[in-house]
Every structure is written in C-alpha cells, then in structure tokens.
Structure 1
C-alpha cells in the first residue's frame, strides 16, 4: 500500500532533482528523503528514479505516479484552502511570476480589481527576463514568453502583443529622421545584453534588424525604455510600454512590425485552488480590457 505522506517526498524530489534540495524544502535530512523514496518504490513495486548527471530523474513509472501524486496533492491543497478560508473570501498568498515588462507595466498596475474583490489575498509579483523563470515552479501562476516545457505545468496562450521601434523626439531632432531600416546602422540602437539573453522570442534585432548591433545593452526592457526616453538611441519596445509615453515617437511603423505572445502557466497540483482560478480569470479580464494586448483563442484550462 502506498502511503500518502511518501508521495510528498516523491514530489519534492521529482521537482528539485536532488535529495539535498528536496530535504531542505521538506525540513528534514537527505537520508530521510532517501529512505522514504526507497519505501515508496517497494510499496509501488517499481523503480521511480534513475540517477543522471543532472540529478534524480523520473522513470516511466515515476512519470505515471507523478500524475496521481499531484492529483492527491491538489485535493489536499484545495481542502486546506476551503477549510482555512471564510466562505466567500480568499486568503493566503498568490505568487505570480512574469517577464519584467509584463510584470511592471501590465500586472502591477492592473491588479486593482483582484485586490478589491479579495482584500485578504496577499499578492507577490516576481519578475525576471530569463528562460528558466518558471523552472523551479516556485510560483502559483506564471507568465512566460515561450510555452513552458517543464513537467507538471498546465499552460495556455494568454495574449499577443505588438512591438515597434521607438526613439525620443529629442533624439530624432539631434540625429535627424529615420526613413528606412538601413539608416539604423548610423544610429545608436538599444537592446538586450546578448550574452545574457536566453529567450529566442526576445532576439528582435536578429530577425527584424539583421546586421544592426546595439550600442547600448541592458538585461531588461525597463532599462531599454528609460534609455530611449533619455534620448540615448532607438529601441524595440512593446507597444503597451511605449505607445502611451508621449516622450517617444514610433518610427518605421510600416517596415518594422513585430508580434510576440505570452503564455499562462499553472502548476498542475494548484489548478483547482480557488485563488488560482480567481487569478486566472482576472488575467483574462486584464488582457481583454488592455488596449495594447490581444486575447488569444485559448486562455482557459
């Protein structure tokens, strides 16, 4: 007979890939984790993990068990949430992980309705521009620029958004108008730090402006926006950041039109929780109401 508590150890190892990291998360020593995994393998009659160079990886049997283990965990979490909350009210903490642009310019100023509806719900917004932002699964709801491929995460398209080339009016006054893409070779272009950029969707310059190398590089879009506003050069910026800013001018509208997509991700074991469903609904409404975001046809689970 499989013990439900052993599944907790199993899931932590499957998510961290290491006994020591799992032990730290569970608040026990690594020998205890190892013993519980051995106990579970005996009870299930199957080997659940193999040692690999990168850590402990699930076997085929382990992958099958993980689906059921997450369902058990999801039921327990939903029960605890329901019993621990006042009927009709949501409490606890909701952590949303998002790219820095979406987090700072869309999410942070757009959560007023969620706060008004659920004042007891504490919100955490974690932002970064890196491919592995969601890899640790230390989030309740995640937004990403590429469809997540990590195990145990349910994902759907959330929104599409346009980007364009922007420069300040002062910059264009000093350096003259820009009438075609080739002229950008004579201008200061602002972009991401290439060596730190691991998200293919953000490699705008490689596709839209081939051969143009940035003179100023930052590792986040907020820095690029501020550099463009300060008159330091031309930047590729999301319309939801640049279009409302009267200090910036949209240039080469016809010849440089870029579109990208955001994905919504939820750990499978959390998708039944009321606070996750509330956040999901709020994000969909936020996208529908936003003038520079376009809802996609697949935004629900």
Structure 2
C-alpha cells in the first residue's frame, strides 16, 4: 500500500508535537483519528514509526528515516498550493509568525494592520512567546528573533535596529528621588526579566545598570512595561513602545541606550513558496517603515543603519 499524503501529514504533526493530542490540535483532528492514521501508515510501511513513553511520542529509527521524505512531500504540496493560489497580487491563506512579546505587543500590530487591509483573503496569526521558536518543528511559518541563529536549515535576514532605553511613569518620577546619573538608580526599584527565565543573551541587560536581580520581574516584557506604567519603578523598555505614550518618560537618555536588532528567520526550503516570500517582503518593509516613524517621534533616538542581507545556514 502506498502511503497517502493525509497520513504523512499526521506523521509530521505527531513527530513535531510529540503527542497525538498535540497533532490533533494542530490539524483539527481528534486524537483517536490521528492514532488510526499513524497505525495505517505503519501498516503500509511495515515498520513502527514511534515509541510511546510517559514523555510522549518519539521517532523510531524508521521514523527518523521517513522524516526528511515526509518533509519533502510537505514542501511539494505547499509549493503546489502556492502555484494555484498565486494568481494575481493578492495574498491569501494563513501565515503564522513567532515573535518575542515586545515586538508582538508594541510593533507588529501597526505593521500587520495595513498588510491585512490590502489582502482580504490573508489570515495572519502572531504567536507571542518569550522564547526562541523552533521552525524545524513548524511552530510558525517564520519568526522574528533578537539574535541570529547559526545552525539549522534557516535563512536569516536582519530587518531593523532598535534601542532599549530606561523609562518610568511620570507619576513615579514626580515623587521619587532625582535621577541625574546612573549611580542614582541604586535607590530605585528596577523591573525586569526573571533571571532564570531569560531565553536569549540579548535580553540580559540589567547587568549594564549594575543590577543583579530586579525588585519586580516577569518573563513577559509587556507585563514589565505595564508594571512600570502603573508606577512600580523603572525598567529597560523598547524605544518603539514609548511612542505616543504620554504617561511614560525616558530616564537618563544621554547616558543609557542599548542597540539591538530584529532578524527575520525562515526555513530555507520556504524560499520556493511565493506566498511566504511575498509576505516576508511586506513584513520587512513594514517594520522598517514603522521604525523610521519611531525615530521621527522620539527626538532623542539615535539613527541606526539597517542591513538587508540574507544569510543561509545549513
């Protein structure tokens, strides 16, 4: 019996999610149906593909050998669908973006709204999580990162620079001791990441202020921002989050600013998918345009150079 694409699709979902329930959620199937599809595929191939354990489903040797061929079939189906949908300039279908929550909360909404307006058939999903996304497991079609990965079959494109700056609510600053230099921060509450939950070295920035542990902390930069906005203390925040927020004020603008960059990360094989490539072009263009507005809106922002080169890591 020749394996069907439907069964291979379930195989890939179970391999990536590590469970029948996770695969069922991803494919909108009930776990029992996913289990029957896997059993049918194993019968067709004459070999067990998964080992079940308390930790979930793990690939057997046969499953590991099948994985690259199933991914090739998936890519062929995606390219075929893209060819059928690709008539005209309008984008359609679903695109899922993984992004750190600072970018997802304070930058992507302004960038994505006009893209969706221009393409009514397009559905965009933003997964905002304070961690690195695994594109090899297809957790997202593309991801925005704060550092460039150096391993895996990925294409990495630097999108734009931004700044991390020190800020506090005006209400907090009105009643707090004056902050004239960095040494004055010692008497103030600092809000930041939970140290044990920092997932990228680019986010470990409180050391630059001489602070080992923040007085108030969260694994979400959006939560940190709203803590500070309510007068909890000071925090290092994204410069683009401050635009239009009259309740917040930069602190020590001449003495403290950290330059960081956003990178667009894609699976290398997706370069052939016209829909995803078109969307990524619109996303990069929109992020750069929005950051240009940010620099205009923040009089003390320092302009930075953007590099549009794309590298492929294998």
TM-score, structure 1 normalization: 0.78
Are residue 56 (structure 1) and residue 82 (structure 2) matched? no
Q: Is residue 191–residue 218 contact of structure 1 (8 Å, CA) maintained in 2? A: yes
Equivalent-residue separation in structure 2 for 1:60 and 1:295 (angstroms): 45
Q: How many residues are treated as equivalent by the alignment?
A: 295
Q: Is residue 168–residue 231 contact of structure 1 (8 Å, CA) maintained in 2? A: yes
In structure 1, the residue corresponding to 2:95 is in which secondary structure?
Answer: strand
Q: Provide the residue aligned with 2:182 in structure 1.
A: 181
Equivalent-residue separation in structure 2 for 1:241 and 1:223 (angstroms): 12
Equivalent-residue separation in structure 2 for 1:25 and 1:111 (angstroms): 23
Shift of 1:113: 3.6
Q: Is residue 143–residue 262 contact of structure 1 (8 Å, CA) maintained in 2? A: yes
Q: Provide the residue aligned with 1:30 in structure 2.
A: 35
Equivalent-residue separation in structure 2 for 1:57 and 1:218 (angstroms): 35
Q: How far does the alpha carbon of each residue in 1:52-90 deviate from its partner, in whole angstroms, 9 at most, with x for none?
A: 977525869947x65554343222122223325654432
Shift of 1:51: 8.7
Equivalent-residue separation in structure 1 for 2:62 and 2:181 (angstroms): 54
Q: How far does the alpha carbon of each residue in 1:189-231 deviate from its partner, in whole angstroms, 9 at most, with x for none?
A: 11123344433322221x3123353222233222222333333
Shift of 1:300: 7.2
Q: Provide the residue aligned with 1:77 in structure 2.
A: 78
Q: Which moved more, 1:27-36 or 1:250-259?
A: 27-36
In structure 1, the residue corresponding to 2:107 is in which secondary structure?
Answer: helix
Q: Provide the residue aligned with 1:285 in structure 2.
A: 285
Equivalent-residue separation in structure 2 for 1:217 and 1:279 (angstroms): 35
TM-score, structure 2 normalization: 0.75
Gaps of 5+ in 1: none
Q: Provide the residue aligned with 2:130 in structure 1.
A: 129
Give the RMSD, CA atoms, in angstroms: 3.7
Q: Provide the residue aligned with 1:298 in structure 2.
A: 309
Q: Provide the residue aligned with 1:92 in structure 2.
A: 93
Equivalent-residue separation in structure 2 for 1:169 and 1:281 (angstroms): 38
Shift of 1:99: 1.5
Shift of 1:110: 1.5
Q: Provide the residue aligned with 2:218 in structure 1.
A: 218
In structure 2, the residue corresponding to 1:211 is in which secondary structure?
Answer: coil
Q: How far does the alpha carbon of each residue in 1:92-139 deviate from its partner, in whole angstroms, 9 at most, with x for none?
A: 222222112111221111224422431221222221222357675232
Q: Provide the residue aligned with 1:260 in structure 2.
A: 260
Q: How far does the alpha carbon of each residue in 1:230-271 deviate from its partner, in whole angstroms, 9 at most, with x for none?
A: 333111011111255343332233443322232222345544
In structure 2, the residue corresponding to 1:111 is in which secondary structure?
Answer: helix
Equivalent-residue separation in structure 2 for 1:31 and 1:61 (angstroms): 16
Equivalent-residue separation in structure 2 for 1:32 and 1:246 (angstroms): 56
